[in-house]
A = this chain, B = another copy of it.
Amino acid sequence: MANKMVKNAAGREVVTEINGQKAVPYQGVGKYKPEGRKYAPWISSCADYPDNGDKRVSNIREALVKAGIKDGMTISTHHHFRNGDLLANMLFDAVHELGIKDIRWFPSASFPCHEHLIQYLDDGTIHHIEGSMNGPLGRYVSEGKMKGIAVLRSHGGRYQAVQDGEVEIDIAVIGAPMADPFGNANGLEGDSACGLLGFALADSQYANRVIVVTDNMVPFPCIPWQIQGNYVDFTVEVPRLGLPEEIVSGTTKITKSPDRLLLAELTAKFCDAAGILKDGFSFQSGAGGTSLAVGEFFRTLMKEKGIKARFARGGSNKYLVSMLEEGLVDYILDGQTFDLDGVRSMRENPRHVWTSPFTSYNYHGKGNFAPLVDVAILGATEVDINFNANVVTHSDGYLLHGIGGWQNCLFSKTVILPLPLVRDRVPVIIDRVTTLCGPGELIDVIVTERGIAINPLRKDLMDAVRNSDLPVKTIQELKEEAERLCGRPEKLYNDGKVIAAIKWVDGTVIDVVRKVKV
């Protein structure tokens, strides 16, 4: 494969072609201006759909045949069932039974439960995956075993790619915890309740054929409709879509690790000192143990100060829900629900609002919600001395995580990464990240247990905390401290085969991932 490599605006060597499709190298934040028009789906006619609104067909296989499945097509799925998803496996069993080959699988993310699909990557049913890969599939791809190049996008980047026609979805298969025969669907009720279905929004709007699969069919109308039946071609009933205990955890837990609690406390104190915690502010934090702990420190500080937040962006969970219910937060603008309290709250509370990658993250819209958030608390696997960060690969080069909404959230007014200085005796702050996912100019603060580094671009933050007792250091100092603890990491130069491309929020290629040396 003579795939020409070029150095992009971040200084990374990237491919100019991905699986036969031209790719634009990253040009800098806000620099690449899209031209042309959004993807235009075919016009349908009600004359071609059943008069009684009943679009049911007997099984997934029949739906695929009616949808005109052919070799080489693109099939999309969503990941709201997380590691409890049974549908993608059923789906590709059916694709395989039909003898179809070379499918591009376009999930919003894949999980360890999808290890079942490795056989279909091996036998050519699936040509390649475009979407986050958590766990076994990431390992498989990292070892160079997949035929095509993986493409990783943020949640917003996935919407953008579909909207802009970079990825044309032939068939979208949307698992729905509740649906009606017409195709209206939501994630709020039923054995597979997962909260919302926002990751499938683009798929429903733009795919040529849309199949809604449910284990909880109700008479029309399914209310509310998070997915609109007017975009749906076929509906299918199956006995079970997912494993409830793996879809939503009943046990979201705040970290008990003293190190992590320290990171969380420092992060909250920093926000307070910097003047971010003021009445009407907004924040986003994830469902990881440290993020949850930050939220709890916020709660305490907010009560002390007698302030409330206008909105919190989630990933929702019981802690965030209790802040909403206590009146500490006016609204939760939720992108995915991580536990049963989140699902319940979304079902019952009009102030717990479902959002989508379109509202929150799509960079090729007329604005999105991400830059309206005052502070986003995010994670990373590595950060370099220019504040560039990596979220997809480990220092050993294995591609084991997805991007999620991480890149999109970098547009928040202040981005803070609370990170342990060292993980498994490997420094987290290094000279150059293994894989570049987020440009340093968008990352403002690194909080470690041994000090806080503020991006020099944020003089305002430096000034704001100058007189506090916070342990502010330079990122260089933090890096050196990490190296004193565990030695300077040997940087492996890897010129192996490109196995994945990392897209920036505007569809350009910010970096590539190469086959690991095993």
Contact = CB atoms under 8 A, between A and B. Distances in A.
Interface of A: 30-31, 33-53, 55, 163-164, 182-183, 210, 219-221, 223-225, 228-233, 280, 310-311, 331, 333, 350-351, 353, 358-359, 362-369, 371-372, 411, 506
A45 B31 CA distance: 10
A38 B233 CA distance: 17
Contacts of A182: 367, 369, 372
A229 B36 contact: no
A438 to B, nearest CB: 16
A40 B43 contact: no
Contacts of A40: 37-40
Nearest to A209: B366
Contacts of A359: 225, 228-230
A103 to B, nearest CB: 23
Given A53-B371, A219-B310, A280-B219, A366 B42 contact: no
Contact of A230 (B41, B52, B358): B358
Contacts of A43: 34-38, 163-164, 364
Contacts of A228: 358-359
Contact of A372 (B47, B52, B365): B52
The CB with the most chain B CB atoms within 10 A, among A34, A183, A367, is that of A367
Contacts of A369: 53, 182, 221
Contact of A45 (B34, B42, B183): B34
The 4 closest A-B pairs by CB, nearest first: A30-B47, A40-B40, A37-B40, A49-B367
A69 to B, nearest CB: 18
Contacts of A362: 230
Contacts of A367: 46, 49-50, 53, 55, 182-183, 229-230
Contacts of A366: 44, 46, 49, 183, 210, 229-233
B364 A44 contact: yes
A372 B220 contact: yes
A331 B46 CA distance: 24
B36 A42 contact: yes
Contacts of A351: 223
Contacts of A42: 36-38
A33 B364 CA distance: 32
A127 to B, nearest CB: 26
Given A37-B40, A50-B367, 20 more contacts: A34-B45, A36-B43, A39-B40, A40-B40, A43-B163, A43-B364, A44-B365, A45-B364, A46-B365, A46-B366, A46-B371, A46-B411, A55-B367, A182-B369, A221-B310, A223-B353, A225-B359, A228-B358, A230-B366, A232-B366
Nearest to A363: B46
The CB with the most chain B CB atoms within 10 A, among A353, A368, A372, is that of A372
16 contacts: A33-B45, A34-B43, A43-B164, A44-B364, A44-B365, A44-B366, A46-B364, A46-B366, A49-B367, A50-B367, A182-B372, A183-B367, A223-B350, A223-B351, A229-B367, A350-B350
The CB with the most chain B CB atoms within 10 A, among A43, A50, A183, A358, is that of A43
A311 B218 CA distance: 13
A221 B331 contact: yes
A352 to B, nearest CB: 10
The CB with the most chain B CB atoms within 10 A, among A42, A52, A230, is that of A230
A466 B50 CA distance: 30
Contacts of A30: 45-47
A331 to B, nearest CB: 6
Contacts of A411: 46, 51
A45 B363 contact: yes
Contacts of A47: 30-31, 33
Nearest to A44: B366
Contacts of A183: 366-367
